[in-house]
Structure 1
Amino acid sequence: MSASADIDLTAAEQERQERRREILAAVLRVLIPVMAALVMGGIILLILGKNPLDYYGFVLRRGLLTWGGLQETLTRMAPLLLIGAGLIVAFRAGIWNLGTDGQFLIAAVLSAALAPALITVLPDALTIIICMVVSMLAAAIWSLIPAILKARYGINEIITSLMMSFLGVSFANVLVKLFFRDPATTVPQTMSLAVEDRLPRLFDTTIHLGLIIALVVIVLVHVMMTRTAFGLKLQVVGANPAAAVHAGLRVGWLTIATFAISAGLIGLGGAVEILGVWGVVRADWNPAFGLLVVPLVFLARFNGYATIGFTLFFSALMIGGDSAARRVGVPNDFVLVLVALLLIFLAVVEYLDHLRRKKAGA
């Protein structure tokens, strides 16, 4: 074998080793925050005088190991995946769309108000499609203010999108209490969509068609952001706006388009939750899914396929956490403590990884 062939083999082996190291580092960046959050959560449970193994065991059994619990977990995934898809679009484009809860609720209220009215004159499928489209458009329109302020004046979208989220939550309640209230009920709520008129169930289970819609959407979003010219443009804008301008990209319009797509997908999540599960929106209802999905998207490194896995994990934690809290005797909000710990350890791991890369580069 010639010397040049030996050199080629050595270079190829080094490249494979480097790739394996990168994969291992990526896996550790994901696993360490999750495991650290679970361990710290267990320590907190011990301090409270509770058995962490009992708590996590109940979570696992209720969320994944029983057929009824698994169905609830998969059903819960649908809106979370659609919110995640919207956040992936925004975050990959370097935009912080934190107006998720307002966009979600406005879309949900409009679906809840439209569906019972349209179902009496239109076929079920057409009613559902119209509700979804209207919800997406409404959420996209609601995002235009922070989008225009960002694109035209460079105003930080974190502040403006959060403000619009608070306004959206309040405005959704106003719509329920004043404009779309069902006069036949004492508690302010919209008219209820009958169970048989909601999204079809899959294979005689409680899982509705919204899960399939959500899975298809997040895969399409992943492909769009990684394999298409439009997705590449958005990522260039996010990575270096100045370079994007120099390359002739219309950064302002791309910013507005990013907000609209992101909010529209989040709005679709609101429509799916109402049309698939609740069929009604009551006053002051707010599941606050939006900010809960942010750490999942970051853990997944904005990868659509990985987001599916983390959403399954988190949905099981949410479904199982309610049952585990009752059985162990801790507040239902203990799941939020775990989410907060996850965010903290995610930030620590990212910081340490940044220092490692900086040191390696030096």
Structure 2
Amino acid sequence: MSSQSSHTRAPGPLSLPRLKSALARVGLSVGPVAIALVITGGLLVAMGVNPLEYYGFILQKGLMTPSGLQATLTRMGPLLLIAASLMVAFRAGLWNLGGDGQFLLGAVIASAVAAPLNDMGAPSWLTLLAAMAAGTITGGLWAILPAILKAWQHINEIITTMMMSFLGISLANVLVKLVFADPATTVPETRTLPYEQRLPSLFGTHISSGLPIGLFAVIAVHWMMTRTAFGLRLRTVGANPRAALHAGLPVGALTIAVFALSAALAGLAGAVEVIGIEGNVRADWNPAYSLLVVPLVFLARFNGFAAIAFVFIFSVLSIGSESAARRMGVPNHFTLVTVAVLLIVLGLTEMVEQRRRDRAGVQ
């Protein structure tokens, strides 16, 4: 009887460290958000704005009204695809910071494919699939050069992907202004896909079906990286390339696969943004979603389900702040200030946590 009682009590001490570890991970993710909101609240006070009123208005417009909630959920679609894109690269130990260029080129090419197909009377499903495929392929191809330079020349991918991003943004603008410009408009933009021909809305609402596409992508990437042999190979290459080589893994091919998959998802995000929300691409348009999502993915610790939660929070903040800016006289881009503060706090938090690990003797 005594042995049985000791057996049943055994899980208690074992579960306590797990609980502490889980709470620590939650604190490292939620803590920087709370600190960033407090700091930006101080900035609002300095601007003569009541931060509680400002944040309350954001929640009201981004979450509490039917139109605001639908706009928030629609905004999540492309952001989730970008989160999936970043998760692939970061979990594999690589930095794809060229997502904005991949996103814009995917959007432009998707728009250039969708409008003519629609004019030719192609079925709506074929038009949408062709546009998404075009955006996906374009994004993937734009990352091949940084992938090759990383795989066989060991050139820092942070530099090459950012350079390719600048080139991609410039090329996208050139294509909009010179190659794919709609001749019927005076402002440079691609031809507009009619609203009724875009990605269908969900359940009679105004929520774009880009949302389930993004959710599926994030969950699929999370499953691939944590539950499949391919994901294990990618994580092994990222953790220790030399050990991966000694284990017989094709490091070069896997590196290119990571970049191609990551960039393809960013290109798909651009396509979904155009055929699900915007309808066309205007000259000099760049929402810079990729760099905005980077801190969200880090806060989520590369966990897909946590990434969904943080993207939702950011979408509420983004949609609500647009209304709050008009209502309370706050600059339109104050959300970017919040993201910048969040990045700084996140970096400081990581530094403190790393020092704590070093003191504890954890490598």
User: What TM-score do you get using the length of structure 2 for normalisation?
Assistant: 0.97
Show the counterpart of 1:168. 168
Partner of 1:186, secondary structure, is coil
CA RMSD of aligned residues (A): 1.3
Q: How does 1:1-362 map to 2 (within 5 A)?
A: 1-2=1-2, 6=6, 12-119=11-118, 120-361=120-361
Offset of residue 317 of structure 1: 0.3
Letter in 1 for 2:14: E
Offset of residue 81 of structure 1: 0.1
Using the alignment, how far apart are the partners of 1:193 and 1:4 within structure 2? Answer: 69
Using the alignment, how far apart are the partners of 2:8 and 2:51 within structure 1? Answer: 50
Letter in 1 for 2:357: R
Using the alignment, how far apart are the partners of 2:259 and 2:62 within structure 1? Answer: 33
Offset of residue 330 of structure 1: 1.3
Offset of residue 276 of structure 1: 0.4
Offset of residue 2 of structure 1: 4.9
Letter in 2 for 1:56: Y
Using the alignment, how far apart are the partners of 1:206 and 1:251 within structure 2? Answer: 44
Superposed CA deviations along residues 304-330 of structure 1, whole A, max 9, x for unmatched, are: 111110000000000001111222211
Using the alignment, how far apart are the partners of 1:10 and 1:352 within structure 2? Answer: 35
Higher deviation after alignment, 210-219 or 71-80: 210-219
Offset of residue 5 of structure 1: 6.8
Superposed CA deviations along residues 216-242 of structure 1, whole A, max 9, x for unmatched, are: 111111111110000010001111111
Offset of residue 356 of structure 1: 1.5
8 A Cα contact 1:97 1:161, kept in partner? yes
Superposed CA deviations along residues 208-262 of structure 1, whole A, max 9, x for unmatched, are: 1111111111111111111000001000111111111111100000000000000
Partner of 1:249, secondary structure, is coil
Partner of 1:311, secondary structure, is helix
Using the alignment, how far apart are the partners of 1:39 and 1:317 within structure 2? Answer: 14
Letter in 2 for 1:28: G
Offset of residue 43 of structure 1: 0.6
Using the alignment, how far apart are the partners of 2:10 and 2:236 within structure 1? Answer: 31
Partner of 2:342, secondary structure, is helix
Question: Which runs of no fewer than 5 residues in structure 2 stay unpaired?
Answer: none
8 A Cα contact 1:209 1:276, kept in partner? yes
8 A Cα contact 1:64 1:316, kept in partner? yes
8 A Cα contact 1:102 1:169, kept in partner? yes
